[in-house]
Amino acid sequence: MARFKLQVLVADDASIVHELFAALAKASAIPFDLISVRDGRECMDRLVGGRINVAFIDVHMPQMDGMDAIGQARRIGAKTFIALMSATANTRRLQLARQLKVYEFLEKPFTPADVTAILQTYCRVTVPSQALIVDDSATVRAIIKRVLANSIFNLDPTEAANGETAFTFCEHGQFDVVFLDCNMPGMDGIATLDRLLARDPNVKVIMISGEQNEERRKRALARGARAFLQKPFFPADIDRELHGIFGLKMPVLAGVEPSPLAKVDLAEAVQWSA
């Protein structure tokens, strides 16, 4: 049975960039077909036409620049996984890239390893990941599900209202990540963490809390939690932690503060319970 090949679009008017991708396509452990275009308008047409898994798009091109091409394609509904390319980056350009839901910004010259890291991330985020949300508040669990739905990762959530239920779920199923609230009646978050790790030392737990408590954060991490998130948190926070948990290279754009308009509207989350 033939291996599935990614469809990779490269939009750039520089021949050297196309040569780099052509060489990588022949040697890559991740098989992909290369679609090469040299101007922004054809780039936009390809994005809108669909069937492109990953696109590497230069900022400056004839006919239409890369950001305009992405912007128009996004407005029409294209959801392609995109990396922008440019010889220079500035804060405004990076912020615009975040607003356009661009995954990465590659500064030229970049290496085949940089491209491979992006392809690896794409392959990982398209695989469904099982997530367990453990919180005694049904409202908070619903909000967390909304946040997870806006992550770049394909997360399939299961809910548990307490530590005992979470432990039972983990006994009968495999979860890629567990979001575990610190403050719960009965068996609290730290006790639940200890029990989950005693059963499976490899379980990946992200502790969550509505309280500013540095001592608790340090204790949870020392006892084996992979990360600690303060409520309210956003999809970018989830993406950052999951990159580390899944062993993926962190994109440059993960460290760029988006404008307020780029954030998911979670105004009701301000009152998240502890």
Out of 50-54, 55-59, 256-260, give the one with best mean pLDDT. Answer: 55-59
Supply the pTM of this predicted model.
Answer: 0.85
Average pLDDT over residues 208-217: 88
Q: How far is it, in rounded angstroms, from Cα 213 to Cα 231? A: 12
Which CATH number is associated with domain 128-271? Answer: 3.40.50.2300
The pLDDT value recorded for residue 2 is 42
Residue from 62, 105, 65 nearest 86 by CA: 105
Instruction: Indicate the angle between helix axes 112-126 and 15-27, nearest 10 degrees.
Output: 60
Asked if 84 and 101 touch (Cβ cutoff 8 Å), the reply is no
Alpha-carbon separation of residue 146 from 103, 149, 150, 201 (angstroms): 20, 5, 7, 29
Per-residue pLDDT band at 268 (split at 50, 70, 90)? very low
Write out pLDDT tens, residues 64-106. Answer: 999 999 999 999 999 999 999 999 888 888 988 988 999 999 9
Average pLDDT over residues 209-227: 91
The pLDDT value recorded for residue 260 is 55
Question: CATH 3.40.50.2300 in the chain, residues?
Answer: 6-125, 128-271
Average pLDDT over residues 144-173: 94
Angular region, 62: left φ>0, alpha ψ -120 to 50, beta rest: beta
The pLDDT value recorded for residue 258 is 60
Burial of 150 (0-12, 13-18, 19+ CB in 10 A): middle
**pLDDT at 256 exceeding the cut of 60:** yes
- Hey, is 255 helix, strand or coil? helix
Write out the H or E segment, with its range, that includes residue 56: strand 54-58
The pLDDT value recorded for residue 120 is 96
**pLDDT at 267 exceeding the cut of 90:** no
Burial of 198 (0-12, 13-18, 19+ CB in 10 A): exposed
Residue from 157, 148, 152, 219 nearest 182 by CA: 219
Which CATH number is associated with domain 6-125? Answer: 3.40.50.2300
Report H helices in 173-213: 189-199
Per-residue pLDDT band at 263 (split at 50, 70, 90)? very low
Q: What is the dihedral of CA 226, 232, 234, 238, to 10 degrees?
A: 10
Average pLDDT over residues 47-71: 95
33 versus 93: the higher-pLDDT residue is 33
- How high does pLDDT run on average in the chain? 90
Angle value at C-alpha 208, between 203 and 212, nearest 5 degrees: 140
Per-residue pLDDT band at 186 (split at 50, 70, 90)? confident
Per-residue pLDDT band at 212 (split at 50, 70, 90)? confident
Sort strands 6-11 and 54-58 into parallel, antiparallel or unpaired.
parallel
